[in-house]
Structure 1
Amino acid sequence: MTLYRDKVSPELRAAARHIGRRRFLTATGAAAALAFATDLPGSAQAAEPAARRITEDPFTLGVASGDPLPASVLLWTRLAPRPYETGSGLPPARIQLRWEIAHDDRFRRTVRRGNVTAHPEFDHSVHVEAGGLAPDRVYYYRFSAGSWISPTGRTRTAPGPKANITELRLGAVSCQAYHDGYFTAYQHLAAEDLDVVVHLGDYLYEYAVNATGGARAYTDRLLPAHFNRETVTLEDYRLRYALYKSDPDLRAAHAAHPFVVTWDDHETENNYAGEIPENDVPPEEFLIRRAAAYRAYWENQPLRKPQQPAGHDMRLYRRLHFGRLAQFDILDTRQYRSNQAYGDGWQQPGPESEDPSRTMTGETQERWLLDGWRQSGAQWNLVPQQVTFAQRRNVPTPDFKLSMDAWDGYPASRKRILDGAAAAGIENLMVLTGDVHVGYGFDLKKDFDDPASPTVGTEIVATSVSSGKDGADKPANWSNLTSANPHMKFYNGRRGYAVVTLTADRARADFRTVSAVTTPGAPIGTAASFVTESGDPGLKPA
């Protein structure tokens, strides 16, 4: 979204672009070459001696798991004894790690173990596809390198494909700007009883973080100066992930639950569209930046081998199943989209935005989604994705504007998706969304311009973890938006997350919020709860 663009003066942005471009072109030859390489490890030094030479805790960034399948789960860690330094305080050598997964958190009943090599080419991150596991089971896992042992993580496999499970509980999170406040929501999310967490994008922000951590206003320490610039190079993005993952609440959430992640724009650059950057830079320069951002994203997330990027391309859309109860179709609405109409921002709709050739997903991903629905036997079909799907007029008058960065800027693409769901017989459609730093609950309409049009699904928009700072229960535009959009059933501007509980009969959405993020330790509460009944789409107060 464009919120932060308005917070920085044009003069500072121009200076940052000038400095960023010069630094990009003069100091990043190696990073650019690495970003466009084959992504295969090179010839580094031997592994075992490097592991024995580690004298500081290398597991400062914690552990994570993700993309659970019935017989396997992805385990992740990244070695970083000095996470705020380039190279993380490690030699450019392969380092041998051991991993183990057990039924209990004391590892008395280990079920799988093995070795994995952390390569310097991947910033000493590892992705272990731990297989041979039982479906729908809780497991505990950890890593070790030399004499060092990682924190213990807890994960869970998915149910079998034909399992008739009675309940699935998921957390939905998005938008965690480090400089806007503490990740208190993650402290509470870690304590929730969940099967999986879905991260809907903006895991990090490319904007500068000053020495005192922005709104965190540190008084007991100072962050290194290299964080106080926009991320452009591979080194920049790697260091920024280290900063974010050094947050204890984020580490706790990853250790508590398996994550299913997808990106939005800020993991690369605000409001980019496909190969088109936000700012006026040469396309080849942006693609090098995109390659660096995509590589760092894969290195720092619990993603499987098919998601490993090749240069500036990375297939992030994918499908997961949770028994007969739920199918997740995780979308990527950044990499393949048409450029925003009318120069982006909030604009009146017209021929440019309503051009039927415009796409949010690209033709291949759109076909993949619709084909997957035709083959789905799930009770609930969930679509984790990035930007607001429902129509969202800004005022209740004929001169309304719509966000050109959201699906409102791509109405023909949205119509193809909804028509495809109807053609596939999808009765229980739920879209999960991030991006906008507020919580929304929408009824999805066959025709958004007709309030009496049939409701064909629901959309749950998870508010931000910290982006936008403390927020408010009723933001300044609350009256306008709720009046202009009768299908909007909920709007709240506090920070937090959503919890969605699925059963065969209904889905329940709890909007969980904290009172503040500019100071640590705020309590959690529930702003509102809604249900949608199976076969009868539409949100009703719980």
Structure 2
Amino acid sequence: MTPPVYPLVPARVSSRRSFVTGSASLALAALACERAFGAVKSAPKFSSYPFTLGVASGDPTADGMVLWTRLAPKPLEGGGMEPVPVEVSWQVSEDEGMTKIVRQGTAIATPEWGHSVHVEVDGLRPERWYWYQFKAGGEVSPKGRTRTFPAKETLPEKLRFAFASCQHFETGLFTAYEHMAKEDLDLVVHLGDYIYEKEGLDGRVRKHTGPEINTLEAYRNRHAQYKGDPALQAMHAIVPWLVTWDDHEVDNNYASDISEEKDVKKEDFLLRRAAAYQAYYEHMPLRRSAMPKGPDMLLYRNVSYGRLADFHVLDTRQYRSDQPCGDGSKPLCAEALNPNSSLLGVIQRDWLFEGLAKSPSTWNVLAQQVMMGLADRKVGEEKGYSMDQWPSCEMERRRILKYFDEQRISNPVVLTGDIHSNWANNLLTDFDDLESKVVATEFVGTSISSGGDGLLKPKTLDAIYAENPFVKFHSAERGYVSCEVTPQHWKTNYQAVEYVTRPGAPLITRTSFAVEAGKAGLQQA
């Protein structure tokens, strides 16, 4: 396959002379890696082009970021690499032509980690764009573009980012990423369901490889199948990403060490979780601090965009209580009202509260998975709340909203994915009193492709608006959400594509909302 490149120079013919091979620093780095890993191939021969999965960057700071790639000449066959460590060199340049090299080095791609590469670059200048590239043997990767964030003490004029979730390969094309790539963005935030774990089914837009996945090699192959999508791969190559997971990266609706299937033993499920977590790390631009240890992986973290925005990236799967009341859409039963139930776990919740309290930023952004607004999805007098979302841990949900209010957290905004539909919600201190104080805003983004072709007006739309007056917008089209943030205001655009089961859907900005700094609540923009 021909790898996509950013944006002009084909990777296979770009200048290999720009890779300095004789510097003392690279020689020392290679020597250190040999000692650490044993015999390392510094001049490997590949059966075919090894950079089939492209490149990516993520978790930017004021002086660096993570650069990622994975060697996979046969991406759907476990990668197709010999089981030996391989030397990979990398460079960062101030120009797209790779003539102004500012950082360079080598990394070792090991078979134990799927021949993935995670380079943590530092020492760069804040708030500027850079280009990067990898080389292994005689092969050169596509170029990537990335950027550093502003220095923590500065107040930037503007941040432009998009967030997305739920990209089921089988049920639709990733057309939304083709449009996203045309926006002038500083960042992409992915809120989970990057892959789906179920078996391949005939009759869909595209077909998953193999049966339902539960081994490391199977998870690797599924990630590789998704990473091979040209639109997704190209989007990774032009802007840094912040990523977190939801459930389908492992198993639908799993909770901590509990599988959705009730007959699965916890020890067996943790083996599956360990395989899934490792494959996720191997395919994402994540720092060493996120490297999994068996079935455990530290994914929640804070990323600051100067003093304009703090991103509190959450994990609502690994530590959560089991879904109460038999899961599904239910009233708030006693189990859902248990004060000890948690989506975050005590340690993550305390970390979040501490980070919010200490944040110097104008905007505090919770990048997380499941809807926080207490939306009644049942038509009529009967109440129905999703037991896979925040209502399943209702007392913790209330505690967080109360914390926003009592601690006067600066402009909290919640970003959500998961449910394949758009919502714009005002978050209230007390959802039993619909006239109570608005303390935060929630933007829920629809799926990239999950669910197939969507629709603008769900059948229950009128009832949802009537019974949930804090909901200001709801639709079930496909697409993504783009945001422009300044010290004075936040603007959100709901970007829709009307179909994903065939190519070529145009982009429609379906609606836009604004939030004024210092004044919680949505306004039509």
Q: Secondary structure at the match of 2:325?
A: helix
Q: Is the contact made by 1:66 and 1:303 (CA closer than 8 Å) also made in structure 2? A: yes
Tell whether 2:519 aligns with 1:536: yes
Tell whether 2:179 aligns with 1:182: no
Match of 1:409 in 2: 392
Match of 1:262 in 2: 244
After TM superposition, give the deviation of residue 351 of structure 1 in Å. 1.1
Match of 1:294 in 2: 277
Of 204, 222, 235, which aligns to 2:195?
A: 204
When the two chains are superposed, the root-mean-square deviation of aligned CA atoms in Å is 1.6
Q: Is the contact made by 1:501 and 1:507 (CA closer than 8 Å) also made in structure 2? A: yes
Structure 2 CA distance, aligned partners of 1:178 and 1:481? 30
Tell whether 2:205 aligns with 1:216: yes
Q: Secondary structure at the match of 2:179?
A: helix
Match of 2:482 in 1: 499
Q: Secondary structure at the match of 1:101?
A: strand
TM value normalised by structure 2:
0.91
Map 1:111-510 to 2 at 5 A.
111-210=102-201, 215-217=204-206, 227-279=209-261, 280-510=263-493
Structure 1 CA distance, aligned partners of 2:310 and 2:351? 14
What amino acid is aligned across from residue 139 of structure 2 in structure 1?
W
Map 1:508-523 to 2 at 5 A.
508-523=491-506
TM value normalised by structure 1:
0.89
Match of 1:18 in 2: none
Count of aligned pairs = 492
After TM superposition, give the deviation of residue 442 of structure 1 in Å. 0.4
Q: Is the contact made by 2:405 and 2:429 (CA closer than 8 Å) also made in structure 1? A: no
Q: Which runs of 4+ in 1 moved over 4 A?
A: 40-45
Match of 2:41 in 1: 48
Map 1:65-144 to 2 at 5 A.
65-86=57-78, 88-144=79-135
What amino acid is aligned across from residue 69 of structure 2 in structure 1?
T
Structure 1 CA distance, aligned partners of 2:36 and 2:77? 23
- Tell me which moved more, 162-171 or 387-396: 387-396
Q: Is the contact made by 2:413 and 2:441 (CA closer than 8 Å) also made in structure 1? A: yes
Percent identity (aligned): 46
Q: Is the contact made by 1:41 and 1:122 (CA closer than 8 Å) also made in structure 2? A: no
Structure 2 CA distance, aligned partners of 1:362 and 1:154? 36
Q: Secondary structure at the match of 1:296?
A: helix
Q: Secondary structure at the match of 1:112?
A: strand
What amino acid is aligned across from residue 77 of structure 2 in structure 1?
E
Q: Secondary structure at the match of 2:352?
A: helix
After TM superposition, give the deviation of residue 382 of structure 1 in Å. 0.2
Q: Secondary structure at the match of 2:204?
A: helix
Q: Secondary structure at the match of 1:47?
A: coil
Q: Which sections of structure 1, spanning at least 5 residues, go unmatched?
A: 1-39, 218-222
Q: Deviations over 1:396-415 (max 9, x none)?
A: 53311110000011110111
Q: Secondary structure at the match of 1:419?
A: helix
What amino acid is aligned across from residue 82 of structure 1 in structure 2?
K
Structure 2 CA distance, aligned partners of 1:315 and 1:340? 22
Structure 2 CA distance, aligned partners of 1:477 and 1:245? 36
Structure 1 CA distance, aligned partners of 2:319 and 2:129? 36
After TM superposition, give the deviation of residue 416 of structure 1 in Å. 1.4
What amino acid is aligned across from residue 215 of structure 1 in structure 2?
R
Structure 2 CA distance, aligned partners of 1:182 and 1:382? 29
Q: Is the contact made by 1:237 and 1:293 (CA closer than 8 Å) also made in structure 2? A: yes
Q: Is the contact made by 1:65 and 1:257 (CA closer than 8 Å) also made in structure 2? A: yes
Q: Secondary structure at the match of 1:370?
A: helix
Instruction: Looking at secondary structure, tell me which structure has more helix per residue.
Output: 1
Q: Is the contact made by 1:44 and 1:92 (CA closer than 8 Å) also made in structure 2? A: no
Q: Is the contact made by 2:484 and 2:492 (CA closer than 8 Å) also made in structure 1? A: yes
Inter-CA distance 43–164: structure 2 relative to 1 (3 Å threshold):
closer
After TM superposition, give the deviation of residue 449 of structure 1 in Å. 2.0
Q: Deviations over 1:3-62 (max 9, x none)?
A: xxxxxxxxxxxxxxxxxxxxxxxxxxxxxxxxxxxxx9999773336x431141101100
Match of 1:9 in 2: none
Structure 1 CA distance, aligned partners of 2:158 and 2:86? 41
Q: Is the contact made by 1:44 and 1:93 (CA closer than 8 Å) also made in structure 2? A: no
After TM superposition, give the deviation of residue 479 of structure 1 in Å. 2.1
Match of 1:12 in 2: none
Q: Is the contact made by 1:199 and 1:260 (CA closer than 8 Å) also made in structure 2? A: yes
What amino acid is aligned across from residue 84 of structure 1 in structure 2?
L
Q: Which sections of structure 2, spanning at least 5 residues, go unmatched?
A: 1-32
What amino acid is aligned across from residue 516 of structure 1 in structure 2?
Y
Q: Secondary structure at the match of 2:491?
A: strand
